[in-house]
Amino acid sequence: MKIGIDKIDFYTPPQYLDLVDLAHARQVDPNKYLIGIGQKKMAVAHLDQDIVAMAANAAEKILTPADKQALGLVIVATESGVDQSKAAALFVQQVLQLTTNLRAIEIKEACYGATAGLQMAKDFVQCHPDKKALVVASDIARYGLNSGGEVTQGAGAVAMIVSVDPHILALEDQSIYQSQSTGDFWRPNYSTEAFARGKYSEEVYLQMFSDIWQQASSQKMTQTEQLQALLFHIPFSKMGRKGLKTLEDKLATADYQRLLQRFEQSIIYGQDVGNIYTGSLYLSLLSLLENDSTLQVGDRIGLFSYGSGSVAELFFGQLQPDFKKYLTPLVHQELLKQRKQLTLVEYENIFRQKLVTDGSTQKLSQSDCNAPHYLTKIQDHERFYK
């Protein structure tokens, strides 16, 4: 039985900061951001586009009435959760008017959360082949104004439907995963910004990739002549490039060049959106599928997921006969093109805005997000959405 990603789409708020403007403001050579970090723009979310609203806006695009009816599991993976208790998936269920006969939960493990969700969804569908699962990765990456990680911020959500006989990517059963407690990146409950040991986090990412690749190779899972693309978690594109580079000496030149070429297609969307934490690997998948015209039905793709703290996994999938029909590259190119460019002052003002935390009522006038779902108000410590 084939199980995997049946549909995939994404949402990102309709405004961004150009990283050249950020570089000038922070008195940094723009090439450090454009080449050294490998990013061009970062999406900026208004308060009304929190992770619930973004998740609903991403999921809305792929759910037909028949899909909604078939859902047995809804997972929202996030590390920017809005409640310590109630799952973001329950808000999404309500906002999208989904059936009540389903399990709705939230998963957290930094940027690995969506992969945990995807694997759980796959196991769920294996046991309940007549049902589908919705997995949404939704995050806002915040490190703070003038912080080392500022250039690697971003915001967005990726939604996927997991089912039998998927239209896009059938997932293989075998994968290699690893967990180990590390202090590379974390965000305590009281902080709206993440803390990172930046260079150390890069080392852990690369070490885990190297260990996992070695294990996968010893189990003959990485024969590169069969591997048409290798995707990475992309906190910023240079990170994935560094991961891929570790294979340069291990692979035949033609295989490495093929993976490199496809890597370039996989970072196109992320370079304009920024780090969307747990959705970022899946934004790379979408970027690859929509920007590369050479991939063929049956091609095998490797996906390396990394979440700080840290959990990592390398897994594989095969492109399905109809995959091109289920993609909307023009819609996504337009979505990115139509965004408003913020000035630095506008970006800093949005960054400083805060939701009330004292129980008072705060009504949000819908920002120009032009999206169906948004946070409308906070009242008595509760969030309300349209």
Given the residues 46, 79, 290, 369, select the one marked as catalytic. Answer: 79
Given the residues 46, 233, 332, 373, select the one marked as catalytic. Answer: 233
Decide whether 19 or 170 has the Cβ nearer to ligand HMG. Answer: 19
39 binds ligand HMG (CB under 6 A): no
Structure tokens at 352: 């400083």
Q: Read off the amino acid at residue 354.
A: K
Among 20, 25, 26, 36, binds ligand HMG (CB under 6 A): 36
110 binds ligand HMG (CB under 6 A): yes
Indicate if 248 belongs to the active site.
Answer: no
Decide whether 28 or 335 has the Cβ nearer to ligand HMG. Answer: 28
Please give the full DSSP string across 82-110, using - where no structure is assigned: S-SSS-HHHHHHHHTT--SSSEEEEE-BT
- Alpha-helical runs (H) found in 96-158: 113-127
Q: Read off the amino acid at residue 9.
A: D
Among 15, 39, 152, 291, binds ligand HMG (CB under 6 A): 152
Bond preceding residue 310 cis, omega within 30 of 0: yes
Among 53, 54, 111, 378, binds ligand HMG (CB under 6 A): 111
Which SS3 state, helix, strand or coil, does residue 199 take?
Answer: helix
Residues numbered 186-225 forming contacts with ligand HMG, rule: CB under 6 A: 196, 198-199, 201-202, 205
CB of 233 to ligand HMG, least distance (A): 6
Whole-angstrom distance, CA of residue 42 vs CA of residue 272: 6
Indicate if 233 belongs to the active site.
Answer: yes
Indicate if 382 belongs to the active site.
Answer: no
35 binds ligand HMG (CB under 6 A): yes
Rg (CA), the chain: 20
Whole-angstrom distance, CA of residue 251 vs CA of residue 254: 8
CB of 19 to ligand HMG, least distance (A): 12
CB of 274 to ligand HMG, least distance (A): 10
Decide whether 159 or 239 has the Cβ nearer to ligand HMG. Answer: 239
Structure tokens at 299: 């091609």
Residues numbered 231-260 forming contacts with ligand HMG, rule: CB under 6 A: 233, 235-236, 238-239
CB of 189 to ligand HMG, least distance (A): 15
Whole-angstrom distance, CA of residue 336 vs CA of residue 241: 23
Q: Dump strand ranges (E) for the chain.
A: 3-11, 15-18, 41-43, 71-77, 103-107, 132-141, 154-164, 169-171, 176-179, 185-186, 195-196, 227-232, 300-307, 311-319, 340-341, 362-363, 375-379, 382-385
Q: What share of the chain is helix, strand, coil (3-state, %, to 5)?
A: 35, 25, 35
Per-residue binding string, ligand HMG, 122-151, x by CB under 6 A, is: --------------------------xx-x
The catalytic site residues sit at 79, 111, 233
Applying CB under 6 A, the residues found at the interface with ligand HMG are 29, 31-32, 35-37, 79, 110-111, 148-149, 151-152, 184-185, 196, 198-199, 201-202, 205, 233, 235-236, 238-239, 275, 277, 306-308
